[in-house]
Structure 1
Amino acid sequence: MAVAPPDGSDAILARMLALHPKIIDLTLDRMWRLLERLGHPERDLPPVIHIAGTNGKGSTQAMIRAGLEASGKRVHAYTSPHLARFHERIRLAGQLIDEPRLAALLDECYSVNGGEPITYFEITTCAALLAFARTPADYTLLEVGLGGRLDATNVVDRPRLTVITPVSIDHQQYLGDTLAEIAGEKAGILKRGVPCVVGPQEDAALEVIESRAARLGAPLIAQGQHWHVAEERGRLVFQDETGLLDLPPPGLPGPHQFDNAGAALAALRHLGCDAAACEAAVARAEWPARMQRLTSGPLADMAAEAQLWLDGGHNPAAGHAIAATLSRMPPAETHLICGMLNTKDIAGYLRPLAAHAVHLHAVDIPGEANTLPAEATRKAAETAGIPASTATSVEQALAAITARSPHARVLICGSLYLAGRILQSNG
């Protein structure tokens, strides 16, 4: 293993931020340049499962990984963004990458790049691919960062399988204003002759995916056509041409996780996994900040008898998913502590939650330049029909809620960046 340079990964990552003036600049030219200099590690990966979609990518990937690992497979996994530490993005053969190896890989990529323009996500994706190519494993799971067609992960010529989870409106400034345009970007991960598992889609998105798949000769394994998933008497029932599975409900909370589980199960069945692996995928998968109950740490201690939940969803589809999850929970007085980025559709996110929340405390996202000001969040909440006020911090909001309603349900929500700060501060 390479010896770590004197600088730690945080220092190298900080230097990488200065290599390009934009955080997001969608093109693959810089990726190809650096990958060539690194010896094309993307050509030496264990079989790749490439996952795109607007919502559910991370949960679906976590379920696929749980199922493969239950089958005794060694699995690499790449995801973004991280919540508390960058190391969360790169999982080598089942384990989060350690600091010496991460620092050495980042330093190597930084040096080989030679100071040329490249975005933070691009150069760190190159580091992940280099790590995966150098570490033996049975599968590589790659989660798209943004879009698909021009995403930095879209450099593998022939993955083993692709997956497209539900497509909805988000990131319009990069992907297009219509569902069809956005679906076209997601469908950019399709490869000639490579099967693709497709989760539930609106007609406009499905038509685009089907059209591109037909041009490429990429077989689709689509929900509602080739596989079906449903909740029956509290259990998950999945059926495809192989047969029927009667499984426990997903361990990840929320009715939307049944669809995510269905996509994961369709992928696992295509890969030849047995019923035990499928059950493990549904029951054992863990994915932080997706309706995660916080039961320990300083914030949980501060909540005392109140229920404390955390979710990083940030678009209208996520708002509907959270609302559906809350509707399934036992009745409780529900308060929101919400912070969002200024690039998101806050009205679309909050409207579905209005029927479930008695009050919203708006906060800035600590340390985030693109945070929506708390006052703007408060106004948007009241427009959506949620009584709202501002707070200077999550802690202040939580103290105010529990002082008035000691047994309330409190959901911290609105942004993965806010969720990451919460997980950091809560230990």
Structure 2
Amino acid sequence: MSAPSSDALLERMMRLHPKVIDLVLDRVWRLLAALDHPEQKLPPVIHLAGTNGKGSTQAMLRAGFEGAGQSVHAYTSPHLVRFHERIRLNGTLISEAALSALLDECLAANGPDPITYFEITTCAAMLGFARAPADWCLLETGLGGRLDATNVVERPAMTVLTPISMDHESFLGDTIEKIAGEKAGILKRGVPCVVAPQTEAALEVIEARAARLGVPLFVHGQHWHVWEERGRLVFQDETGLLDLPLPRLLGAHQVANAGAAIAVLRQLGQTEAACEAAVLNAEWPARLQRLRKGPLAEIAPLAEIWLDGGHNPAAGEALALHLSGLAKRPTHMICGMLNTKDVRGYLRPLAPHVETMTAVSIPGEANTLSAEDTATAARDSGLEAFTAESVESAMRRITATCPDARVLIGGSLYLAGRVLQTNA
């Protein structure tokens, strides 16, 4: 009899808890104890939390370390096409055999006890990381920080707080201060923390918690600075100035993400070559990704097609800033979102830069907002809006009247994953 596939094991894990999200750490601690505490056997950990930019910052950190010849484990979520994307062992996506074995072992150790999908899969990732030697282990929180399943490492090498804004209010709180308090829950006594650009309200919360725990902070605008100048990235901290290429990842917001990654690398004693590799070599799909090949490009060969998984107001503002800097071209949007997101807050900054928006439901996603409801929110945000049955039909509708349109597909990482899956 053949061993069960990772898909079959993951499906079993989905049924272990009635809730997708249930923020406590008791179940994680129980399973980690049953697995002989892999969280205590990890390579030096860099733990990242924040609302936006976690994945991009982590991708640049990984590129920097690897550019310096060092090996890196990395954990991120959600995945776009396959679960394997969440776990990188020594820089390589985990194999099917290795993933299935880890999942099977965690299911056996957990037994019938309730545990969420994210909790048990995080334990599986840590088990894999603990067994494979590496120089560094990058852990990205899934949601929040204080009660996130990744927040079990007693003393990481460093923590990182990327920009904090409004998102997941039903779990983290309805103010920036409350959300920042949850994100800052990853701070550990005496462990240094790099802080990316923050609102004044968020920074006050972070600084207060850091003061209580004796955490050395390295804060953007105080201890390090980053900016674009004449097509270059300039970074400065107390040790000096770096003149680097602009990030390979597109968008003005990636300059700040690069700054956070460079600040971490500098604090950990990495070389200028590592910092340059961070900005030049990082790859992170569905973040202002240009689609040049595949079925969508075949539908609209003259169109300029962009894919982005941003889904909250801050992401909408970042996209709007990027669109404002592009060459003039008729711009249309295809949008699908989850029913848990602030749709109007996301779309409002985009309205001045987009001529029409065609709404779709996210295929195969139980929590999708209907195309009709997304279109209504778009009209409330000042956009001329339509609906379509699929991204492909939306593309045909747009390019039938504007064949050389710029088309932005966005609103959800889940929609971006479906696009990448069908557009390979």
Same-fold status (TM-score > 0.5): yes
Partner of 1:7: 4
What do the CA deviations read for 1:328-373 (whole angstroms, capped 9, x no partner)? 1111111100000001000100000001100000000001111111
Partner of 1:400: 397
What do the CA deviations read for 1:282-326 (whole angstroms, capped 9, x no partner)? 111110110000111112222211011100000000000000011
What do the CA deviations read for 1:205-253 (whole angstroms, capped 9, x no partner)? 0000000000000100000010000111121100001100011111111
Partner of 2:122: 125
Letter in 1 for 2:349: P
Contact 1:5 / 1:103 at 8 angstroms: preserved in 2? Answer: no
Partner of 1:18: 15
User: Which one of the candidate residues 271, 280, 283 is aligned to 2:280?
Assistant: 283
User: Which one of the candidate residues 20, 32, 35 is aligned to 1:35?
Assistant: 32
CA distance in 2 between partners of 1:258 and 1:72 (Å): 24
Partner of 1:258: 255
CA distance in 2 between partners of 1:91 and 1:173 (Å): 31
Contact 1:38 / 1:112 at 8 angstroms: preserved in 2? Answer: yes
Q: Is the aligned partner of 1:48 residue 2:31?
A: no
Partner of 1:316: 313
Letter in 2 for 1:284: N
- The two structures have a TM-score, normalised by structure 1, of 0.99
User: Which one of the candidate residues 87, 91, 95 is aligned to 2:88?
Assistant: 91
User: Which one of the candidate residues 150, 155, 158 is aligned to 1:153?
Assistant: 150
What do the CA deviations read for 1:91-117 (whole angstroms, capped 9, x no partner)? 000100000000000000001101110
Q: Is the aligned partner of 1:268 residue 2:268?
A: no
Relative to structure 1, the CA distance from residue 5 to residue 74 in structure 2 (aligned partners, 3 Å threshold; closer, same or farther) is farther
Contact 1:5 / 1:104 at 8 angstroms: preserved in 2? Answer: no
Letter in 2 for 1:358: E
Letter in 2 for 1:303: A
Q: How far is 1:382 from its partner? A: 1.0
CA distance in 2 between partners of 1:303 and 1:38 (Å): 51
Q: Is the aligned partner of 1:303 residue 2:300?
A: yes
Contact 1:148 / 1:154 at 8 angstroms: preserved in 2? Answer: yes
- The two structures have a TM-score, normalised by structure 2, of 0.99
Letter in 1 for 2:164: V
Aligned to 1:247, the other structure's residue is in SS state strand
Q: How far is 1:9 from its partner? A: 0.1
User: Which one of the candidate residues 48, 70, 73 is aligned to 2:70?
Assistant: 73
CA distance in 1 between partners of 2:350 and 2:382 (Å): 9
- Greater shift in the superposed pair: 403-412 or 77-86: 403-412
Report matched runs for 1:196-211 at 5 Å: 196-211=193-208
User: Which one of the candidate residues 357, 360, 365 is aligned to 2:362?
Assistant: 365
Letter in 1 for 2:106: C
Moved over 3 A (4+): none
Aligned to 1:355, the other structure's residue is in SS state helix
Q: Is the aligned partner of 1:420 residue 2:412?
A: no
What do the CA deviations read for 1:105-163 (whole angstroms, capped 9, x no partner)? 00000011011100000000000000000001000000000000000000000000000
CA distance in 2 between partners of 1:228 and 1:362 (Å): 39
User: Which one of the candidate residues 373, 377, 393 is aligned to 1:376?
Assistant: 373
Partner of 2:54: 57
For structure 2, which runs of at least 5 residues remain unmatched after alignment?
A: none
Q: How far is 1:383 from its partner? A: 1.1
Letter in 2 for 1:240: D
The aligned length equals 424
CA distance in 2 between partners of 1:92 and 1:116 (Å): 28
For structure 1, which runs of at least 5 residues remain unmatched after alignment?
A: none
CA distance in 2 between partners of 1:298 and 1:369 (Å): 25
Aligned to 1:354, the other structure's residue is in SS state helix
Contact 1:5 / 1:107 at 8 angstroms: preserved in 2? Answer: no
User: Which one of the candidate residues 221, 232, 248 is aligned to 2:218?
Assistant: 221
Aligned to 2:133, the other structure's residue is in SS state coil
CA distance in 1 between partners of 2:183 and 2:381 (Å): 30
Q: How far is 1:400 from its partner? A: 1.0
CA distance in 1 between partners of 2:63 and 2:329 (Å): 32
Q: How far is 1:270 from its partner? A: 0.7
User: Which one of the candidate residues 169, 175, 187 is aligned to 1:190?
Assistant: 187
CA distance in 2 between partners of 1:279 and 1:294 (Å): 26
Aligned to 1:272, the other structure's residue is in SS state coil
Partner of 1:111: 108
Letter in 1 for 2:215: A
Identity %: 70
User: Which one of the candidate residues 150, 159, 163 is aligned to 2:160?
Assistant: 163
Q: Is the aligned partner of 1:237 residue 2:234?
A: yes
Q: Note the aligned Cα RMSD (angstroms).
A: 0.8
Q: How far is 1:5 from its partner? A: 6.3
What do the CA deviations read for 1:378-405 (whole angstroms, capped 9, x no partner)? 1111111110100010000001111111
What do the CA deviations read for 1:189-219 (whole angstroms, capped 9, x no partner)? 0000000000000011000000000000010
Letter in 1 for 2:170: Q
Aligned to 2:103, the other structure's residue is in SS state helix
CA distance in 2 between partners of 1:87 and 1:300 (Å): 27
Aligned to 2:358, the other structure's residue is in SS state strand
CA distance in 1 between partners of 2:277 and 2:93 (Å): 20
Letter in 2 for 1:255: A
User: Which one of the candidate residues 403, 406, 409 is aligned to 2:406?
Assistant: 409
Letter in 1 for 2:239: T
CA distance in 1 between partners of 2:285 and 2:158 (Å): 25
Letter in 1 for 2:137: T
